[in-house]
Structure 1
Amino acid sequence: MRLLRGKGQRDDRILHLVAGRVLEYPNPELLQSVPQLRSALGEQPSGPTEPLLGVLDYLAGGDLEVLRQTYVDTFDLSRKHALYLSYWTDGDTRRRGEVLGQFKKVYRESGFLVDTHGELPDYLPMVLEFAAIADPVTGRELLSTYRASLELLRIALVEHHSPYADAVVAVCATLPGRSPQTRAEVMAMAGLDGPPGVESVGLAPYGRTELPLTAVSGGSR
């Protein structure tokens, strides 16, 4: 599949693909792909691409072990920056188990074989790659449905002064309307009245993966 459309016409699939890649746990393959990702963004008009270029600069200029430790500190050791979309709306509740099942159903019905590599199906890098490669329309609908989760994650990362904040800023910029400026605005937009609930339901613990999502149709990609 050729994703590039040429200068002047933004292709959100490119932005979603790059954002999904840079939000993965850093590994040598990711760092080696930075020039290719930068080149893909270079074919797009300015705007949401600018924040992503900043994240690529961060990755290109960092030591792998330091990058990994920063990633773990940011995403694995604090749920304040959870990369799992339904956590922000449903927490660890029985309802969340149903929601995760809905994500799996979406992937199955897309006609693509999605290998989650042990991740929960609402893992943001996985959703972004699904939107970029497997089914852009349905993927965009998923991102729009969980707009509040994305915006809360964006605000949390910005407040943390995280280099990863700009990746989420870029994703939010691909969705309609302006981003809310405060948590209260996000909660009002989503009709939420408080933080996600906590309930012991035996969900798999959050964890990272060093392997990207594999989405294929009738064979390996």
Structure 2
Amino acid sequence: MTAGADNPLARPLAALARVLDYPSATLQAHADELADILCVLSELSDAERTAVHAFIDDLAQRDLLEIQARYVDTFDRGRKVSLYVFEHVYGESRDRGPAMIELTRVYREHGLESHTRELPDFLPMLLEFCAQLPEPDARAWLVETTHVLQRISVRLSQRDSGYASAFTVLLRLIGAEPAPEGLTEMAGKEVRDDTPAAIDDVWMEKPVTFGPGEAHTNCGATRQNRPEPDTGSAPSAHIQGD
């Protein structure tokens, strides 16, 4: 499948996929290009545009190992800002498995085969998929994720993470508010799940199992060893927020 030439969202969605993926030397090398694509969007306010530019500049200028460690600390220490969309929909429910299968089937129907070890609900993969669709179809897929994206956005903002600016861009592109008042208030009252104490509690509560079992839902532990992501993938049919 070729990139959606008739989709004005194609370039910004592909750029956001790169920004939200695990940082690489390739990302740093193309940071100026990514900033040029995202910072000219008319949907952004001047303040939002400035925040995006500052964040991408920071990604480009810092030591690669430092921004990789920051990425893991941001997205892989807990579930509240996970980039795996179904994490917010199903959690550890058994329903997540069939949803993954259905999502993979949709990818294949569109001629997309993933050659990475990422789960199919990984947000950058969804963005790459939508970048290759006609605009109405891309919007339809993304609008289904709105509530999930908004929750991640306000939580990242509460944590003063620069990654919140990428979610601001994405939500503005689909005509959604990045920081709804109710969700912002909710995030301010939440107990964070990425602190050392919270992580210890999760490990203490998790039962010990032996032998084959359900697939692990968080790929963060192997993230540094994975190959560069493929350029295609998508979400499932009915995505609701947590």
- Per the normalisation by structure 1, the TM-score is 0.77
Matched, 1:67 2:70: no
Please provide the CA RMSD for this pair: 3.1
CA gap 1:115/1:64 in 2 versus in 1, 3 angstroms: same
Aligned equivalents of 2:150 and 2:40: distance in 1?
Answer: 26
CA contact (8 A) 1:92 1:203 kept: no
Listed one character per residue, the Cα deviations across residues 7-35 of structure 1 (whole Å, up to 9, x for unaligned) are xxx93222211111011111111111112
CA contact (8 A) 1:19 1:52 kept: no
Q: What residue in structure 1 maps to residue 215 of structure 2?
A: 203
Structure 1 position 84, deviation (Å): 0.7
In structure 1, the residue corresponding to 2:67 is in which secondary structure?
helix
CA gap 1:177/1:30 in 2 versus in 1, 3 angstroms: closer
Gaps of at least 5 residues in structure 2 are: 187-205, 234-242
Aligned equivalents of 1:177 and 1:205: distance in 2?
Answer: 28
Gaps of at least 5 residues in structure 1 are: 187-197, 217-221
Q: What residue in structure 2 maps to residue 15 of structure 1?
A: 12
In structure 1, the residue corresponding to 2:113 is in which secondary structure?
strand
Larger radius of gyration between Structure 1 and Structure 2: 2
- Per the normalisation by structure 2, the TM-score is 0.71
Listed one character per residue, the Cα deviations across residues 172-213 of structure 1 (whole Å, up to 9, x for unaligned) are 111234342333899xxxxxxxxxxx9x97133412345122
In structure 2, the residue corresponding to 1:93 is in which secondary structure?
coil
CA gap 1:177/1:146 in 2 versus in 1, 3 angstroms: closer
Aligned equivalents of 1:119 and 1:135: distance in 2?
Answer: 25
- State how 1:30-69 maps to structure 2 within 5 Å: 30-41=27-38, 44-45=41-42, 47=44, 50=49, 51-69=51-69
CA gap 1:81/1:43 in 2 versus in 1, 3 angstroms: closer
